[in-house]
Structure 1
Amino acid sequence: MPRMISFLLACIWIALPVHAQAQQQAQPFSQCMAVAEALPGASYANLTPADPAASFTPAAFGDDEVEIQFAGHSTYVITTPSGVTIATDYNGWSGKVAVPRVVTMNKAHSSHFTLAPDERIEHVLRGWNFDHSRADHDVVVDDVYIRNVTTDIRNFGAVEQDGNSIFIFEVADLCIGHLGHLHHPLQDSHFAQIGRLDIVMVPVDGGLTLSHGAMTGIAKRLQSSILLPMHRRGAPLSSFIDMMGDAFVTDYVGSDSVTVSARTLPRRPTILVLKGV
């Protein structure tokens, strides 16, 4: 079976156009990617890149702690071991965000993006393209690799394909995901593109994005060690927590930030409710 899979992958590689092969070689290596999650019985794969130059350099040994701070609504600020600051669903005004080096945005509502970001921001990553093509980000900033998986949004009763993105941040052996303003259940293909998420930021409004039933189903399938609620409007948070069930413990943190590393992930899946959420 492994030989057959290797043969099929080789055939696909040979069939790719030359420019597509070059594009793939240029992309950083993802430690969190699931290459075949959509296949029955398949599991995550951790592959060593054939081209070492295509991978990004992780933080030095021991410098493995990532800080995550809640900054309001759907904005979390991630600070990597090397000091890179990333603001998710950045709108230019929400919360405790000065001038991050990287910002990600989503399109569904103006509280999730700005058309006039501070010009000092080094990387502005929009989860959509203005020409309605699919946004595709593969960005390395010091010790973090940032990529995205596009999703659709509801737009005045219609569906806008690839209107938003789930962003994934790979840093210090952690896979951190932000589900954004998710409007529909995820398919097997989405889960395959997302891969493993050790930490996931989940909208818990119960309707403006998805119902608690649909959102908890996604969160349970991701099987993340830490779940960070966000976008708390509408249904009470307690409803979401109850629907997650006994497999998840809930920890109400008396601070708006938490420091985590791969070695300190909780043994039991935990819903972390930071101060201000």
Structure 2
Amino acid sequence: MGLSTRFPVVPRGAGPCIRATLFLLALTVVLAGAAPEPARAQTYAASMCQAVAQSVPGARFASIAPLPDRPGPRLRAAATGEAASADTVTITFVGHSTFRIETPAGVVIATDYAGYSGGGTPTVVTMNHAHSSHYTDHPDPGIEHVLRGWGTDGEPADHHIMVEDVLIRNVTTDVRRWGSGFEADGNSIFIFEVANLCIGHLGHLHQLLEGDHIALIGRLDVVMIAVDGTYTMSQQAAVDVVDKLRARIVLPMHYFSPARLSQFLSGLPDDFAIDIRSDPTMQVSLDSLPDEPTIIVLPGY
């Protein structure tokens, strides 16, 4: 039996404890085999990445605790001979903030899509609007799902959809306005849950991630983060974010030049490995995740 049910509608602005309680109640209904809620409730698939309660059997939970002491950052030889399989996700760095994610079922996702996805028409695109290079007002009409990271009519973007084998959801953050001040919920962190992996694209992140954000994001195995140090957030702030999330794979993006990338790499904690590759495409599965947090640099910026 699949872990999906009709979830109660979560009030906007509800804190992570309320969201977690509602999630756990719905999960209990599923595990007990009870009948679903009436059809008026929205159908949600259960997130495997959110840390909910330590008592849920078989659940895996996010951890932001430091790893044991390890040698300082070092270069790791690029992996070779990788091959896609039924539990493998293929990730290609198209450039800037666009990654092309291909799931085992053949769903193709382009992140921060501004009109170019690095190949044929994707199934899903996500967009953010801090800058015009992260979205388009005229997406290819062949795209089945266009997910904008900003809301309308004063309401934040709220996505939680299942497309074939991937659950896609978002967590909003604020962005700086061009003039002054901030736009509340102007950016979305998009999370892709597929093949037992939790993959997060942080978008045009302008702020540190605090407790509420971490709770809503949950565990991330792969995280894509802008490390330019100017248009998004400082490089030290980016380092703090990846250190807090503790994803096993970190894919830097939006860095404009090798020099800025080097500055980011030089500021990493001692227990992060560095893996510089010559191929913009990589495969990742739950079993292939590195034992320690690893920065994987794919060519292109």
TM-score (norm 2): 0.75
Q: Deviations over 1:169-201 (max 9, x none)?
A: 000000000000011111210000000000000
Q: 1:253 aligns with which of 254, 277, 282?
A: 277
Q: For residues 226 and 123 of structure 1, do their structure 2 counterparts lie closer, same or farther at Cα, with a shift above 3 Å needed?
A: same
Question: Residues of 2 paired with 1:153 and 1:221: CA distance?
Answer: 20
1:163 to 168, 173, 186: 186
Which structure ranks higher in relative contact order (CA pairs < 8 Å, sequence separation ≥ 6)? Answer: 2
Return the alpha-carbon distance in structure 2 between the equivalents of residues 142 and 29 of structure 1: 14
Matched position secondary structure for 2:267:
helix
Alpha-carbon distance in 2 for matches of 1:219, 1:272: 13
Say if 1:242 and 1:272 are closer, same or farther in 2 by CA, change over 3 A: same
Which of 74, 93, 104 aligns to 2:126? It is: 104
Provide the aligned length of Structure 1 versus Structure 2. 245
Say which structure is richer in helix: 1
Change (3 A) 1:126 1:244: same
Q: Between 176-185 and 240-249, report the one with greater CA deviation.
A: 240-249
SS of equivalent residue, structure 1 residue 27: strand
Distance 2:251 2:55 in 1: 23
Residue 130 of structure 1: CA displacement?
Answer: 2.9
What is the one-letter code of the residue matched to 1:122?
A: E
CA shift in 2, pair 1:232/1:124, >3 Å: same
The verdict on how the C-alpha distance between 1:119 and 1:65 changes in structure 2, with shifts beyond 3 A counting, is same
**What SS class does the counterpart of residue 45 from structure 2 fall into?**
coil
Q: Provide the rounded CA distance (Å) in 2 between the counterparts of 1:232 and 1:153.
A: 18
Q: Kindly tell me: are residues 216 and 141 of structure 1, through their superposed partners in 2, closer, same or farther at Cα, counting changes over 3 Å? A: same
1:232-263 deviation digits (Å, cap 9, x = unpaired): 13761111112112211111111011001000
SS at structure 2 position matched to 1:268: coil
Segments ≥4 residues shifted beyond 4 Å: 20-25, 43-48
Pick aligned residue for 2:154 from 103, 116, 132: 132
Unaligned segments of structure 2, at least 5 residues = 1-16, 26-36, 60-84
> In the aligned structure 2, how far is the partner of 1:22 from the partner of 1:241?
50
Cα RMSD (Å) of the superposition? 2.6
Question: For the residues of structure 2 that align with 1:24 and 1:195, how far apart are their CA atoms?
Answer: 24
Matches of 1:46 and 1:101 in 2, distance apart?
Answer: 33
The 1:157–1:233 alpha-carbon spacing in structure 2 relative to 1, beyond 3 Å, is farther
Q: Which of 268, 285, 293 lines up with 1:244 in the alignment?
A: 268
Amino acid at match of 1:144: V
**Separation of aligned partners in 2, 1:209 and 1:266:** 28
Residue by residue over 1:202-251, the C-alpha shift from the partner in whole angstroms, topping out at 9 and shown as x without a partner, is 10101210101111111101000000000113761111112112211111
Unaligned ranges ≥5, structure 1: 14-19, 37-42, 49-61
- CA distance change for structure 1 residues 251 and 190 in 2, over 3 Å: closer, same or farther? same
* CA spacing shift, 1:207–1:23, aligned 2, 3 Å: farther
The answer for the alignment partner of 1:34 in structure 2 is: 51
Percent identical among aligned pairs is: 51
Q: 2:104 aligns with which of 63, 67, 81?
A: 81
Decide whether aligned partners of structure 1 residues 134 and 223 sit closer, same or farther in structure 2, where only a CA change above 3 A counts: same
Q: Distance in 1 between matches of 2:206 and 2:55?
A: 26
